[in-house]
């Protein structure tokens, strides 16, 4: 027995740097993610045989069931639709996997679902990580996703290398559930920004501006500036100390933002366009940066 495996529970899987990986759920995201692992003894399962066929052609083995995947993989990744499916598939994995297996949940679910599954898994000496991803189908295809991992330090270290086959950014966010909480905050920003984009388009349309050209400008400049992520630099949302290195920078950002939002609101009033998100943003922009508003001193 190698030094790495000495003391492991009887029947436990070997701690090898090239983990045998299983992937369950080969939809729009799961299939391209699994595809980046196809040359390393990958075992795949989906209820649709046609979903497995391209991966088998690329070198993966098609499993006969969830239990078949669990019995042959050290890391079992699942990318299914919702909490109910995660519980169903997860419990099937627990019933068949050997001690030492890591079960990774990539679906976007409730944090408590992952926490409860992890609690059940401990009875089997199996580790659960919640590891939702961000970057969409494009990132999955390119192998450039971000993955936000919740779990123990040991489980994260075992997942880091195989996750790196399909992700450019692999971050340990904390204990089980932390990955999901991170994903929900990230997606809240994502979809609120879509609503804000619709509001901006209404203002542009009422102004006679080409929406397609506006879209080109937004995509071009966000690629340069980083968009909303460019101001997510602080470790806390508490008020910013005037001695902080970021204070003057964010004061400048606040002043520009409040000025430009005020101008946009004036234009909206002139055109009779309802822009409620812009009004909320104008009122909360400074405090959101940890600063007083420009009229608050």
Pairing relationship of beta strands 133-134 and 145-150 according to DSSP bridges: antiparallel
Contact 189, 170 (CB under 8 A): no
**85 Cβ partners below 8 Å, 6+ apart?**
107
* Rounded Cα gap, residues 251 and 228, in angstroms: 16
* Rounded Cα gap, residues 148 and 86, in angstroms: 17
**203 Cβ partners below 8 Å, 6+ apart?**
264, 267, 268, 271, 273, 275, 278
112 catalytic? Reply is no
Helix axes 111-122, 83-96, angle to 10 degrees: 10
Tell me which DSSP letter residue 294 carries: T
182-193 burial, b at 16+ Cβ within 10 Å, e below that, comes to bbeeeeeeeeee
Pairing relationship of beta strands 61-62 and 43-45 according to DSSP bridges: parallel
- Please pick, among 57, 64, 112, 183, the residue that the annotation labels catalytic: 183
Q: Which residues belong to the active site?
A: 183
């Amino acid at each position: 027995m190698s030094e790495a495996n000495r003391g492991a529970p009887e029947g436990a899987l070997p701690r090898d740097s090239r983990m045998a990986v299983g992937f369950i759920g080969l939809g729009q995201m799961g299939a391209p993610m699994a595809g980046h692992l196809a040359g390393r003894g990958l075992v795949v399962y989906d209820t649709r045989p046609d979903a497995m066929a391209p991966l088998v052609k690329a070198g993966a083995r098609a499993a006969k069931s969830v239990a078949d995947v669990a019995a042959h993989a050290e890391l079992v990744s699942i990318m299914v639709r919702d909490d109910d499916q995660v519980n169903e598939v997860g419990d099937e994995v627990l019933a068949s996997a050997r001690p030492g297996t890591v079960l990774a949940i990539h679906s976007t679910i409730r944090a408590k679902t992952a926490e409860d599954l992890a609690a059940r898994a401990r009875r089997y000496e199996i580790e659960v990580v919640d590891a939702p991803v961000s970057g969409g189908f494009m990132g999955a295809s390119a192998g450039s996703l971000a993955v936000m991992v919740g779990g123990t330090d040991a489980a994260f270290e075992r997942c880091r290398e195989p996750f790196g086959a399909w992700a450019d950014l692999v971050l340990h966010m904390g204990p089980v559930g932390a990955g999901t909480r991170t994903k929900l905050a990230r997606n809240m920003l994502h979809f609120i920004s879509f609503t804000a984009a619709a509001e901006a388009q209404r203002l542009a349309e009422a102004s006679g501006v080409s929406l397609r050209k506006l879209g080109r400008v937004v995509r071009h400049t966000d690629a340069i500036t980083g968009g909303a992520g460019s101001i997510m630099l602080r470790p806390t949302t508490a008020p910013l100390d005037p001695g902080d290195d970021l204070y003057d920078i964010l004061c400048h950002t606040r002043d520009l933002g409040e000025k430009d939002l005020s101008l946009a609101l004036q234009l909206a009033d002139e055109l009779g366009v309802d822009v409620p998100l812009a009004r909320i943003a104008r009122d909360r922009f400074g405090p959101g940066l940890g600063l007083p508003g420009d009229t608050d001193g």
